[in-house]
Structure 1
């Protein structure tokens, strides 16, 4: 079986996972023509949602028999069509701490102007910014699932008030996480920091739109480490460019971010390249599990199957 490992940007897959004895080709750059570049491969290991597998792409790969995704879900794979085509889709384990921790890395970097002050030191300058404390401020969480609850716990340690909203959140569940359930309008109007932690679906796409952003307090920070499709990034970037809000993003509509994209010179922002889940500990789960998925399939006993027959 010819196996493709995709989007190994750091070129570390073979160091983290035991793929010995397998016919593996590693792609360290994004694919430019998925159908052409994956022609002849019978198995693919996809790193999260870096490469998309919608219906048209799956139908263009008649030899594909196994698709392994790192993590427990992947909105970039059309699971129904994969099932229809007889493609087995398997997943790996996932460590949720990484993304929650990166959320706080972005919040602190933005509010204490870490990128600017780092640049100052390196350029021979000294103290050009005034930071903002977290204690006594308000955090608004859009979504209070596993990641949202982790972020809420840290906010409590910083002495922040935590507000939360989702389409089906009740007061008791919010209170269990140390948060107060509020309306969406109130959350955006009151929060000093808004952080998005929602599962992307057809119903939640664009759940944070221009009207929500317009309600934010002057100078408030909006953070998205979840999925770009949840946020009207254009509206958020426009607000940051005008100086209405500050913005911290780890996810983008087009990844990697294209050369010349206006986000690259966006003021009042901190940007990272979808590295929220990229940690040593995470890769020590992803790649060994992916190798195990491949070997189990070849042995005729697939594990962690997302679309069982």
Structure 2
């Protein structure tokens, strides 16, 4: 009997075209879902008849309660090699093999700069006015050259964001709880004495930290109050690192110049979510990882994972 594979959150309807699924076509029927299942009950119903599930990033949790309702599920493939919303112990208990895929850090670096530049030069505001026949020039752009770029996190993504900042002639400052002076200098950055100093001294702040108990809520009302009123905040990392209510208040009150946000507490955002109408906000629907090359990698590796699993030798195991 042919196995069935569900591909979740295929919003662009490209999963079955952007990679070659023919190596598993004789053994597996692939069904992609272009709409998001918002709750566990909907997921349990939709996935009841599937043996394999491919899920993107960490948008869809797979807790023990859901895995218990999917007795047919045998292989769960997540994009990337880290996923915090899968209960690995429960997966093992229910006989579900969990695999990951390679993932490039290049697309989120590029999107970070798209948001930062869009904010600095009022790109969306000016484009909307021009296309609507509105006023000619309404904004005064914020300069990058000679300004300070503060990076919260200087790992694979943060260090590459730093390189671009240096190319623009910016002074780059960085901070994280484990960052050393030597590591910062290797990336061309200056180690800030503290998180508070970085926030107070930066003209642009960009978040590049992994979500953990130490980073959850790292930027709240007190931290946002340290930013200059002319400063911009960019978050392409994880929504929970920045307190969303505190950010909304800062944007509405004009306490910061603006924010570029790609990650949210609920995804996809409900139509009436306050982030959709917040002033001084340039927002994108979690596009950080969404690029042709990354999708080719994700889905191509998913096919490889399925082939390896069927051959009895699973690869890229997650636990």
Q: Same fold (TM over 0.5)?
A: yes
State which of 39, 44, 50 in structure 2 corresponds to 1:35: 44
CA RMSD of aligned residues (A): 1.1
Q: Report the counterpart of residue 166 of structure 1 in structure 2.
A: 176
Residue 77 of structure 2 is aligned with which of 63, 68, 83? 68
- The superposition leaves residues 233-273 of structure 1 with CA deviations (integer Å, 9 ceiling, x where unpaired) of 11011101111111110000011110111111111110000
For residues 55 and 177 of structure 1, the distance between their equivalents in structure 2, rounded to whole angstroms, comes to 41
In structure 2, the partner of 1:131 is 141
Alignment of 1:52-91 (within 5 A): 52-91=61-100
The aligned residue for residue 209 of structure 2 is: 198
CA deviation vs aligned residue, 1:184-229 (integer Å, no higher than 9, x gap)? 0101111111100001123321122221111111121011001111
Structure 2: state its 5+ residue gaps. Answer: none
Q: Which residue of 2 aligns with 1:249?
A: 261
C-alpha distance in structure 1 between counterparts of 2:90 and 2:198, whole Å: 38
CA distance in structure 2 between the partners assigned to 1:263 and 1:204 by the alignment = 21
Q: Secondary structure at the residue paired with 1:163?
A: strand
> What corresponds to 1:156 in structure 2?
166
Corresponding position of 2:227: 216
Distance 1:23 1:299 in 2: 17
Distance 2:88 2:223 in 1: 32
The one-character-per-residue Cα deviations of 1:154-189 (angstroms, maximum 9, x if unpaired) are 000111111111111111111111111111010111
Give the drift of 1:276.
Answer: 1.1
Structure 2: distance between partners of 1:127 and 1:188? 30
Report the alpha carbon displacement of residue 149 of structure 1 after superposing the two structures with TM: 0.2
> How far did residue 288 of structure 1 move?
0.7
**Does the 8 Å CA contact 1:152/1:177 hold for their aligned counterparts?**
yes
The residue number in structure 1 matching 2:155 is 145
Judge conservation of contact 1:136–1:160 (CA < 8 Å) in 2: yes
- In structure 1, C-alpha distance between the alignment counterparts of 2:230 and 2:250, rounded to whole Å: 10
Task: Give the match's secondary structure for 2:307.
Answer: helix
TM-score (norm 1): 0.97
* TM-score for the superposition, normalised by structure 2: 0.94
- What is the alpha-carbon distance in structure 1 between the residues aligned to residue 8 and residue 52 of structure 2? 11
Match for residue 245 of structure 2 among 213, 227, 234:
234
**Counterpart among 42, 53, 57 of residue 44 in structure 1:** 53
- Structure 1 gaps of 5+ residues are none
What corresponds to 1:26 in structure 2?
A: 32
1:279 offset after TM fit, Å?
Answer: 0.7
1:258 aligns with 2:270: yes
In the alignment, is the contact (CA less than 8 A) between 1:140 and 1:192 conserved in 2? yes
Deviates more, 1:94-103 or 1:60-69: 60-69
Matches within 5 A, 1:294-309: 294-307=306-319
Aligned residues: 307
Q: Distance in 2 between matches of 1:113 and 1:130?
A: 8
Correspondent of 1:104 among 113, 116, 120? 113
Distance in structure 2 (CA, Å) of the matches to 1:138 and 1:242:
24
